[in-house]
């Protein structure tokens, strides 16, 4: 497994985390391939346009800029990355979240997302 590939994909993942916290969906999407797939508990989103809609909703309504996002684990091995995180926004608590990313040629081609989401009253 290439250390160079691991480092490159770690940089992409670090940028993704920063852009999510900032709510910069346009820049965030530059790291996804046009035919990327996102697996969520609610279904599979295919293509960059559908993934962009997902992230636009997340940053507008669920985890807007200024939310507390804590990355608790990040592992990258070659073309595969795994993160564990928690977060809190004005409306929601995320005691546990996890994502897996698959990279190819410097782009995210697949992602999984799962989180325990607790609405605040």
HEC string for the chain: CCHHHHHHHHHHHHHHHHHHHHCCHHHHHCCEEEEEEEEECCEEEECHHHHHHHHHHHHHHHCCCCCEEEEEEEEEECCEEEEEEEEECCCEEEEEEEEEEEEECCEEEEEEEEEEEEECC
- Counting the structural domains of the chain, the total is 1
How much of the chain is helix, strand and coil, in % rounded to 5? 35, 50, 20
Spell out the per-residue pLDDT of the chain, length 121, in tens.
578 988 999 999 999 999 999 999 999 999 999 999 999 999 999 999 999 999 999 999 999 999 999 999 999 999 999 999 999 999 999 999 999 999 999 999 999 999 999 999 8
Q: Determine the structural domain holding residue 115 and report its residue range.
A: 3-119
What's the CATH code of the domain at 29? 3.10.450.50
């Amino acid at each position: 497994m290439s250390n160079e590939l691991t480092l490159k994909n770690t940089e992409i993942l670090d940028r993704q985390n920063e852009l999510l916290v900032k709510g910069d969906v346009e820049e965030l999407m530059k790291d996804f391939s046009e035919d990327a797939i996102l697996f969520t508990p609610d279904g599979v989103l295919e293509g960059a346009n559908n993934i962009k809609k997902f992230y636009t909703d997340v940053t507008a309504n669920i985890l807007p800029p200024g939310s507390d996002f804590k990355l608790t684990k990040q592992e990258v091995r070659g073309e595969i990355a795994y993160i564990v995180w928690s977060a809190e926004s004005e409306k929601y608590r995320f005691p546990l979240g996890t994502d897996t990313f698959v990279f190819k040629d410097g782009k995210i081609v697949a992602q999984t997302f799962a989180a325990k989401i607790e609405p605040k009253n």
